[in-house]
């Protein structure tokens, strides 16, 4: 059986500061991403750079994504960017519900509206979930369950192929590689997430939804997170802005 490609998402967050730097970062990783035979690379820059980056490559091995989208298609919503505009700028993916957006006040209900708007417009959703802290009593599992159930409410089974889950424990984001979650815990949590997804969609097909881990991913922990964590891919923040480091992650993932 043909092995499923791994998934690698680059979340550039609010970086870099201008188009020429964005183009340089993309060009710095393009060749490596194109060489990788078992990898789907998704680059999510700030939307303002999407068109420029889309003009640098056309093919299927590298895709583009946005980091957020509006819950509406158009209208009087100053500052918002609709899923249709994102598609039009060359992106096929959209990260939704990132913890840095949730910290600005986005709750599950709004995340759910965004998820459904993105799906309606043909974007593949990378839904982020993750607890801010772990506790002995396991309350974080209830929290994760709520995030999944409420963010995916009324999404319907038809969209299963348009969905990925990025599990990003907030306490593990933006640190050194040694402070990422230990792979054994990634594995355990991914099993829990798969169980909830099966309940939400009432279908075994939900077990095929790719699960990614994000939070201080670096070349040093790439292999163990994937192999011992038993997940389909990774979402990389700060290390995705450094082409040499990102290229190393690409090379490692491609061999797994």
Return the bridge partners of 9, or none: 42, 235
Q: Interaction with ligand PGA in 154-213: which residues (CB under 6 A)?
A: 168, 173-174
If one asks whether residue 243 binds ligand PGA (CB under 6 A), the answer comes out as no
E strand intervals along the chain: 6-11, 39-44, 62-66, 93-96, 124-129, 163-167, 211-214, 233-236
Catalytic residue list? 98, 168
Evaluate whether 130 touches 168 at the Cβ level (below 8 Å). yes
Among 36, 119, 196, 217, binds ligand PGA (CB under 6 A): 217
The one among 5, 65, 169, 237 contacting ligand PGA by CB under 6 A: 237
Q: Which residue, 194 or 238, is less far from ligand PGA as judged by CB?
A: 238
Residue placing its CB nearer to ligand PGA in the complex, 89 or 241: 241
The distance of closest approach from Cβ of residue 98 to ligand PGA in the complex, given in angstroms and rounded to an integer, is: 6
Does 5 help bind ligand PGA (rule: CB under 6 A)? no
Q: Alpha helices, DSSP H only, in 6-133?
A: 19-35, 50-54, 83-88, 99-102, 108-120
User: Whose Cβ is closer to ligand PGA: residue 138's or residue 174's?
Assistant: 174
What is the pattern of x (binds ligand PGA, CB under 6 A) and - over residues 11-30?
A: x-------------------
Contact window for ligand PGA (CB under 6 A) among 58-66, 101-109, 189-197, 234-242? 234-242
CA distance 146 to 108: 8
Q: Which residues contact 172 (CB under 8 A, 6 or more apart)?
A: 179, 180, 181, 215, 216
Determine the Cα angle at 221 with ends 186 and 132, to 5°: 45
Binding residues (CB under 6 A) for ligand PGA: these are: 11, 168, 173-174, 214-217, 235-239
């Amino acid at each position: 059986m043909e092995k499923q490609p791994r998934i690698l998402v680059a979340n550039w967050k609010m970086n870099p500061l201008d188009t020429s730097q964005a183009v340089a970062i993309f060009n710095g990783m393009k060749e490596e991403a194109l060489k990788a035979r078992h990898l789907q690379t998704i680059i999510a820059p700030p939307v303002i750079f999407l068109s420029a980056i889309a003009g640098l490559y056309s093919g299927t091995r590298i895709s583009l994504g946005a980091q957020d989208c509006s819950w509406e298609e158009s209208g009087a919503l100053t500052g918002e960017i609709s899923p249709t505009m994102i598609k039009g700028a060359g992106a096929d993916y959209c990260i939704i519900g990132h913890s840095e957006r949730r910290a600005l006040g986005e709750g599950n209900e709004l995340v759910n509206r965004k998820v459904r708007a993105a799906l309606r417009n043909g974007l593949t959703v990378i839904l982020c979930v993750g607890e801010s802290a772990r506790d002995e009593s396991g309350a974080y599992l209830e929290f994760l369950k709520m995030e999944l159930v409420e963010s995916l409410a009324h999404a319907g089974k038809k969209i299963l192929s348009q969905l990925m889950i990025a599990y990003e424990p907030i306490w593990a984001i933006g640190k050194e590689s040694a402070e990422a979650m230990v792979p054994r815990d990634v594995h355990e949590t991914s099993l829990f997430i798969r169980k909830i997804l099966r309940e939400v969609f009432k279908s075994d097909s939900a077990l095929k939804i790719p699960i990614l881990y994000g939070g201080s991913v670096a070349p040093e922990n790439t292999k163990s997170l994937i192999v011992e964590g038993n997940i389909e891919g990774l979402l990389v923040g700060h290390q995705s802005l450094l082409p040499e480091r990102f290229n190393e992650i690409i090379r490692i993932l491609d061999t797994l």
